[in-house]
Structures are given as C-alpha cells and as structure tokens.
Amino acid sequence: MSSISNFNDLLALNRVIQTYCLTVTPDALVNDAITLMLNISYASEEKASCILVTEECRLIGILTQTDALRLTASGKNLSSVRIADVMKREVISLEKSPHHDVFTALQIMRQYGISHLPIVDENNYLLGIVEEKKYYKSF
C-alpha cells in the first residue's frame, strides 16, 4: 500500500506547481514587466519566462518571454504601453482539483501548445504555475 501512496505522491499536481510566480497589475508598464522578467530569478536561478497579470488576485492575462521579444522587436516605444494593452487575455489555465495530476497539466500544455499553465482555484484566484521547462526537471 505504501508504494501506491508513493506513486500517487509522484504524480501529484502539487509536485510541479510553482507557487512563486511573477505577477503585475493590468496598469503596469510593459517596460517594467520586461525588466522584472530579466532581473528576477527563481530559487533555481532561472529567469522568469512569463508574467501573470492579476486583478485582486484573479488571473486576467499573461505576457510570455516570446510575447516580450515580439513587442521589443516591433520597435514600438514600450515605456508608456500598459500590459493590459498587449497581454493575452484568453489564458489557458487549470482549476486545481484532487482529480488533476501531472499528466493532466502536461496533456493541457501539449493540447494547446503552451509552455506556461497557470493554476487557479474555483474563483479564478491564482495559486501558481506549471512551466514546461521546470516540469521536466522535477522528474
């Protein structure tokens, strides 16, 4: 019975959720968000590859490193552009549930071709994030 318990622990979604993630409000400036991404490291010393946009702790958008690169390459002056004007508003996320495990997260990420999967509760409050690159390092 203990091996089943250990196996379930191995597959637990909590195993791959990062509860520390960068967040900003919709009024944050894109330049400031990009600066955060470039200068803030996680415990593993890796730079953040996305910023989640929240309003009253509820997830409302995302800006990924790829989005930031596209914006920077566009040549547009980003010093006065609000993140709300450029973030992805339709965020693919996963509502945390006892029925979801690491395979659920991976399947959603593969299905939608995404590298970042925010984890929310039933009220869309942000709980954390699963990032593909860190997902594979956890095993």
Q: What is the per-residue pLDDT for 32?
A: 92
Domains of the chain are 2-137 (3.10.580.10)
Q: What is the per-residue pLDDT for 110?
A: 94
CA distance 119 to 15: 13
pLDDT, tens digit (0-9, with 9 covering 90-100), for 97-133: 988 988 899 999 999 999 999 999 999 999 999 988 7
Strand order from edge to edge, sheet including 94-95: 94-95, 116-120, 126-131
Q: What is the per-residue pLDDT for 75?
A: 87
pLDDT along the chain (139 residues), means of 10: 48 82 94 88 70 96 93 88 95 93 92 95 94 65
Task: Output DSSP code: residue 26.
Answer: T
Contact 52, 23 (CB under 8 A): yes
Buried b (16+ CB within 10 A) or exposed e, 53-76: bbeeeebbbbbbbebbeebeeeee
Strand ranges, E, within 1-139? 23-24, 50-55, 58-64, 94-95, 116-120, 126-131
Q: What are the structure tokens assigned to 113, written together? A: 């071709």
